[in-house]
Chain A
Amino acid sequence: MSTATMTAPADKKSHSLALKAGLLLVGIHVFVGLLTLVWLPYDPTAMAGGRLEGPSLLHWLGTDRLGRDLFTQMMIGSRIALIVGIGAVTIGAIIGVTLGLLAAFASKWLDDALAATLDILIAFPTLLIAMLVVAASDTANLWSAIIALGIALSAIVARLTRILAKRVLVMDYITAARTSGSSWPKIVAIHILPNIWPTLSVNFALQFGLAVIAEASLSYLGLGAPPPNASWGRILQEAQGTVYTAPLGAIAPGIALVSLAIGVNLLADGLRDTIDPTRRAR
């Protein structure tokens, strides 16, 4: 009791701090992303100044090698990163959780077959699978990249869901739910999903960060959103040739990527700790 009262306030404080920091970081990106729909400082496709200008009051991050405003492109990059992250994680979560639950409930041989398939899929780097999917579809655009990343991520989500669901399925409260007359779909909805959700949600946050970084890599390889869509990966790719003369072109997307990935992770951690009743103080 005494330890609980002593540690609880400190725990709560660090939880809410993570939540606030996460909200702030993600909030900035969401705000900027939404802002680009109605307002941009410059036309992202037009020359706004000289080529490779340094930072100035007119161009906060300078200009790229075609004289386009870098800050404008970074703002659009926020929007694209959010669309990619949310889209890929949603697709990965829907496919992955469904497959994982199926495997957890399946007969032994089907479960073994699914588990082996997932292990093989996971053995391939996410990026490689995404490249395959993008290459298989005729045109490389943002949506083909999102679908490709979602499919690649779904294998990881499915394997995690399978293990977590199996661990919950052996619990006595599942048997108690059955003897209470609850149907399997009901048991999944009210017992299994709420109990695997805390771990899954943290994983989704990780996947969000991975998806944004993977999209940057796809763009960098020319397989993501085609120009003039300025995803952070494309900005990185275009800045590569001039990294010594205008390093901001590479530094800015890097910082943006990291800040969004960390923000989403903090937010997911904070949300889990706030929602999960077993983590609340007694």
Chain B
Amino acid sequence: MSLVRVDHVSFGYTANRRILDDVSLDIAQGDTIGLVGESGSGKTTLLRLLLGLTRPDSGTITFDGQPLDPRNGAFMRDFRRQAQVVFQDPYSSLDPRQTVQSIIAEPLRSLKIPGDHTRMVGDALEAVGLDRDVGTRFPHQFSGGQRQRIAIARAIVPGPRLLLADEAVSALDLTTRIRIVDLLAGLSKTMSLLFVSHDIGVVAALCRRIVILEKGRIVEAGDTAAVLANPQHSYTQRLLASVPRLTLNKVPS
């Protein structure tokens, strides 16, 4: 059974320009999906719709068979606990005036999740590869990669079934990026992952399925290996061709 079902969803900030046009997408329990597209293709808008932050103009989005409806407070609280997000910019996603402990515990406090919050935050910090005792420190005392780990800890602390990652490794340097991708790959064993990216290489390494978005439409979708081996749509072919490769003879001496 699918965890999330996006059914013929369209959305536009103004009437005459559509950001998303008749998008349908299923995320199965335990699935890892890469959502690939250029800037402006509607990836982030789709993510906002999936998080229930914006409502579609037409079509429905269901989670666990129930439609996302901001007016249904009890359901939305349960949904917030089950669907969490990690953003691109680790410098903008952590409140600079809160301690790490307070940042990671926010979902626990706001969603009124019972339990020993200090212990749960410590567990989350350990799960993302940080020390349990960094909770008293502030975000500016961490590097970009460490901040992204803190953001991931905040996302996993309520025990979500769906993790949405919006370009979560794009702002990181190469070696840090590999470590965070490894971390997400580990997490994807216990939860569904929608990994939004313009980096087709990272998606190939991380995601079982791939969805290609161009100008608000899904132009191609399927198993990552199959799609990348034999791209059907011209846009996918162009995307693949534009992946930079390390060709030594082209490096000037």
Residues of A within 8 A of B (CB): 171-173, 175-183, 186, 190-191, 194-195, 276-278, 280, 282
Contact = CB atoms under 8 A, between A and B. Distances in A.
A59 B48 CA distance: 73
Interface in B65-122: 76-77, 80-81, 83-85, 87-89, 92-98, 103, 106-107, 110-111
Contacts of A181: 76-77, 80-81, 107, 110-111
A175 B151 CA distance: 12
B97 A276 contact: yes
B84 A179 contact: yes
Interface string B42-67: 00000000010100000000000000
A221 B107 CA distance: 57
A176 B111 contact: no
Contacts of B96: 195, 277-278
A186 B107 CA distance: 12
B163 to A, nearest CB: 11
Contacts of A277: 96-97, 138, 140
Contacts of A195: 95-97
B193 to A, nearest CB: 16
Nearest to A187: B110
A280 B139 CA distance: 12
B97 A180 contact: no
A180 B95 contact: no
Nearest to B51: A179
Nearest to B81: A181
Contacts of B209: none
Contact of A176 (B76, B87, B138): B87
A235 to B, nearest CB: 43
Contact of B97 (A175, A182, A194): A194
Q: Is the interface of A mostly helix, strand, loop or mixed?
A: helix
Contacts of B158: 180
A278 B140 CA distance: 7
B44 to A, nearest CB: 10
A191 B139 CA distance: 14
12 contacts: A172-B87, A172-B88, A172-B89, A172-B93, A173-B92, A177-B95, A179-B53, A180-B110, A180-B111, A194-B97, A194-B98, A278-B96
Contacts of A177: 95, 106, 110
Closest CB pairs A-B (n = 6): A172-B93, A180-B107, A181-B110, A172-B87, A181-B80, A182-B110
A178 B158 CA distance: 14
Nearest to B112: A181
Contact of A175 (B77, B85, B94, B141): B85
B198 interface: no
A190 B151 CA distance: 18
Contacts of B76: 181
A176 B104 CA distance: 10
B154 interface: yes
Nearest to B90: A172
Contacts of B111: 180-181
A182 B53 contact: no
A181 B158 CA distance: 11
Residue from A172, A177, A277 having most chain B Cβ neighbours under 10 A: A172
Contacts of B140: 277-278, 282
A178 to B, nearest CB: 6
Given A172-B88, A176-B151, 6 more contacts: A171-B95, A175-B85, A177-B95, A179-B80, A277-B97, A277-B138
Contact of A191 (B77, B89, B95): B95
A42 B141 CA distance: 57
Given A176-B93, A278-B140, A182 B106 contact: yes
Given A181-B80, A195-B97, A277-B138, A175 B53 contact: yes
A136 B89 CA distance: 52
B87 A175 contact: yes
Contacts of B95: 171, 173, 177, 191, 194-195
A154 to B, nearest CB: 25
A190 B96 CA distance: 12
A180 B51 CA distance: 11
Contacts of B98: 190-191, 194
B174 to A, nearest CB: 22
A276 B95 CA distance: 13
B222 to A, nearest CB: 29
A186 B88 CA distance: 24
Residue from B85, B106, B107, B111 having most chain A Cβ neighbours under 10 A: B106
